[in-house]
């Protein structure tokens, strides 16, 4: 593909050593012998130029393509904003698949099931992750008309999807990620809840149970609820809602799986109910989508939006406004530039034009502002921050609708009724985990607190990277507390909260996820969810000593606080952790 020539005076890109490694290994284009054929600078230019070149489709654009390419290059290389991984990997290449999130339907026939397996493989190959609901499949042991035999049920088919995933590397670099969903009223729900009991089972899947409003009411009133056969809609049996809820809690306590999503709440916010129900999210849970829908994400690095004023540090709202506006234009162009593995997906995406702008570097921002993550003031700022980003992204979407037209299904969407004026996108905001993006930008991931102030990160098939948070190191220097001995202790412990010899302010501001009471984790998720169209990727971390009752409370709180789902993780409950403190390394 032809990419605009790189200007000779384009500034170089500064990469931290972790970013250099990740980009080289996964993002820079490679020749047949596996060595990179482009530098990191060329990579960012490839992305900037090919995304900016979409302006040519819109004669009314106020930007010259060349200028916009440079602006997008600066936006990314200053680490103010990064698009999701597939855009970085594939923009301006033959593959051209730029979205991270897909949802595929799984119908109740051999044809439909194996079509979904095949489509998922194609999506994984192109760098995307897939979510599926298995709820339409007839339960285990029910009759199969054509053979007179009995059906295998959703869980045995899940295993086939899992095995297929094992063999396909995403974009040739990483294994695909999947989300498997089953509604709580499916007759095989108990087997599904136990499906990841054994270590290693369904290792390419996250599982979530879709809880209905009716089910939650039954839990609250300690009633029974019906299990319904998906085809005949017959009631097969009834279960005690509280017993099922308690089983969910127990499994989450044991292994973190399955998570839960509140499916009716997700559908209450479905902008296009005329196109059907939302039955699944993408693999990490932040993006609910219709069947055959895809979404591209992008994240603003909040750590970069501070300014010094009157001797203090403040949020730089003006610059943030500019960056949100530009990021929405960037993501809109990504939709036009992206090629999808299936025509059905292209149609659905082009009709609804969903984008998911989110944030990363939230914990780093709080460090700079001197606000403890577990404080009322941080929660208030979270709401204010996301409210601002949501409003600005909608205003950008509106401007693009005037310039380029609204998303084609706008007339039948919920916005038409609400009389809010046309938008260019059915949704604009999503908060992603930013697993790799945050490494590239050198910031804390998504809206998560830091796992540890200094830690060893396991990435890419067992490789290890050591990192110390730069704001923490600077604060130690500023306060005259820095020493090699102290750093070694921090690496070992991962936290300073109990180091009483350090100043109180330092100990309260520089918190890590394990220092934070689970209820604050949840409150933070709820604060961001309040002003996010799609959902928020967040893990509620619990100490190893947490009880099942603690998890019960968190689940209930997530329901009451308006979250769209919740994932908990009790320290040490799985043998392989993605992030590890220095202990035991």
Q: Which is nearer to ligand CDP, 493 or 538 (CB)?
A: 538
Taking Cα atoms as reference points, which of 284, 321, 281 lies closest to residue 81? 321
Pairwise CA distance, residues 542 & 577, whole Å: 14
To the query of whether residue 282 is one of the catalytic residues in this protein, the response is yes
Which of 345-353, 418-426, 432-440, 470-478 is the region at the interface with ligand CDP (rule: CB under 6 A)? 432-440
CA–CA distance from 136 to each of 34, 91, 510 (Å)? 42, 35, 47
**486 CA to centre of own chain:** 34
Among residues 55, 84, 206, 286, which one is catalytic?
286
Among 40, 100, 260, 551, binds ligand CDP (CB under 6 A): 100
Q: Which is nearer to ligand CDP, 139 or 356 (CB)?
A: 356
Among 47, 326, 437, 453, binds ligand CDP (CB under 6 A): 437
Residues touching ligand CDP, count (CB under 6 A): 20
Name the one residue in this structure whose structure tokens are 């590239």.
440
Site for ligand CDP in 278-307 (CB under 6 A): 282-284, 286, 297
Q: Which is nearer to ligand CDP, 46 or 507 (CB)?
A: 46
**Closest distance of CB 87 from ligand CDP, Å:** 8
Site for ligand CDP in 357-416 (CB under 6 A): none
Give the x/- contact pattern for ligand CDP in 20-49, rule: CB under 6 A.
------------------------------
Taking Cα atoms as reference points, which of 142, 355, 356, 308 lies closest to residue 230? 142
Taking Cα atoms as reference points, which of 303, 254, 293 lies closest to residue 272? 293
**Closest distance of CB 435 from ligand CDP, Å:** 3
Pairwise CA distance, residues 114 & 102, whole Å: 17
Judged by CB under 6 A, does residue 435 bind ligand CDP?
Answer: yes
Which of 59-67, 271-279, 323-331, 426-434 is the region at the interface with ligand CDP (rule: CB under 6 A)? 426-434
| Strand 101-104 relative to strand 81-83, pairing | unpaired
Taking Cα atoms as reference points, which of 435, 106, 119, 429 lies closest to residue 296? 429
Judged by CB under 6 A, does residue 432 bind ligand CDP?
Answer: yes
CA–CA distance from 368 to each of 215, 306, 506 (Å)? 43, 8, 11
Query: How many other C-beta atoms are found inside a 10 Å radius of the C-beta of residue 483?
Result: 10
To the query of whether residue 286 is one of the catalytic residues in this protein, the response is yes
Q: What is the DSSP string of 231-281?
A: TT--EEEEEEHHHHHHHHHHHHHHHS-SEEEEHHHHHHT-S-GGG----EE
Give the x/- contact pattern for ligand CDP in 168-207, rule: CB under 6 A.
--x---x--x------------------------------
Judged by CB under 6 A, does residue 101 bind ligand CDP?
Answer: yes
**Closest distance of CB 431 from ligand CDP, Å:** 9
- Active-site residue list: 282, 284, 286
Contact positions toward ligand CDP, by CB under 6 A? 84-85, 100-101, 128-129, 170, 174, 177, 282-284, 286, 297, 432-437
């Amino acid at each position: 593909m032809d990419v605009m020539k790189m200007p000779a005076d384009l500034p170089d890109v500064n990469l931290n050593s972790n970013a250099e490694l990740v980009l080289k290994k996964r993002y820079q284009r490679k020749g047949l012998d596996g060595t990179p054929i482009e530098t990191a600078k060329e990579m960012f230019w490839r992305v900037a130029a090919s995304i900016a070149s979409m302006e040519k489709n819109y004669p009314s654009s106020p930007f010259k393509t060349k200028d916009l390419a440079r602006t997008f290059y600066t936006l990314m290389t200053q680490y103010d904003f990064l698009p999701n991984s597939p855009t970085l990997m594939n923009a301006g290449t033959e593959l051209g698949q730029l979205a991270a999130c897909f949802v595929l339907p799984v119908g109740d026939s051999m044809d439909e099931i194996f079509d979904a397996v095949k489509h998922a493989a194609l999506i994984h190959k192109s760098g995307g992750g897939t979510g599926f609901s298995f709820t339409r499949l007839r339960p285990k042991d029910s009759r199969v008309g054509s053979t007179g035999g009995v059906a295998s049920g959703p869980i045995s088919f899940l295993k086939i999807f899992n095995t297929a995933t094992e063999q396909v590397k995403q974009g040739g670099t990483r294994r695909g990620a999947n989300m498997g969903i089953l509604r709580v009223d499916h007759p095989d729900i108990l087997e599904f809840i136990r499906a990841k009991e054994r270590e290693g089972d369904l290792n390419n899947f996250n599982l979530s149970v879709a809880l209905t409003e009716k089910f939650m009411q039954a839990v609250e009133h300690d009633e029974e609820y019906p299990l319904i056969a998906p085809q005949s809609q017959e009631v097969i049996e009834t279960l005690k809602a509280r017993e099922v809820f308690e089983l969910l809690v127990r499994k989450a306590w044991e292994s973190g799986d399955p998570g839960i999503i509140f499916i009716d709440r997700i559908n209450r916010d479905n902008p296009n109910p005329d196109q059907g129900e939302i039955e699944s999210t993408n693999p990490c849970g932040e993006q609910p989508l219709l069947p055959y829908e895809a979404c591209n994400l992008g994240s603003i690095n909040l750590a970069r939006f501070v300014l010094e004023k009157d001797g203090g540090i403040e949020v730089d709202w003006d610059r943030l406004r500019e960056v949100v506006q530009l990021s929405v234009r960037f993501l809109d162009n990504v939709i036009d530039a992206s090629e999808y593995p299936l025509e059905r997906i292209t149609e659905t995406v082009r009709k609804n034009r969903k984008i998911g702008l989110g944030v990363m570097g939230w914990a780093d921002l709080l460090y700079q502002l001197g606000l403890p993550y577990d404080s009322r003031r941080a929660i208030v700022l979270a709401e204010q921050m996301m409210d601002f980003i949501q409003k600005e992204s909608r205003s950008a979407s509106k401007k693009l609708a005037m310039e380029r037209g609204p998303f084609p299904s706008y007339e039948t969407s919920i916005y038409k009724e609400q009389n809010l004026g046309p938008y260019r996108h059915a949704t604009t905001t999503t908060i992603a985990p930013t697993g790799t993006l945050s490494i590239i930008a050198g910031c804390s991931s998504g809206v998560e607190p830091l796992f540890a102030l200094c830690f060893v990160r396991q990435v890419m098939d067992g490789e290890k990277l050591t990192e110390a948070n730069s704001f923490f190191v600077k604060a130690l220097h500023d306060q005259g507390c820095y020493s090699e001995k102290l750093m070694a202790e921090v690496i070992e412990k991962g936290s300073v909260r109990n180091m009483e010899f350090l100043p109180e302010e330092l100990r309260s501001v520089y918190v890590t996820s394990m220092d934070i009471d689970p209820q604050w984790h949840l409150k933070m998720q709820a604060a961001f969810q309040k002003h996010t169209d799609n959902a928020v990727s967040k893990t509620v971390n619990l100490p190893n000593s947490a009880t099942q009752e603690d998890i019960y409370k968190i689940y209930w709180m997530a329901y009451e606080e308006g979250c769209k789902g919740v994932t908990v993780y009790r320290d040490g409950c799985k043998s392989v952790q993605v992030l590890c403190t220095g202990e035991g390394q």
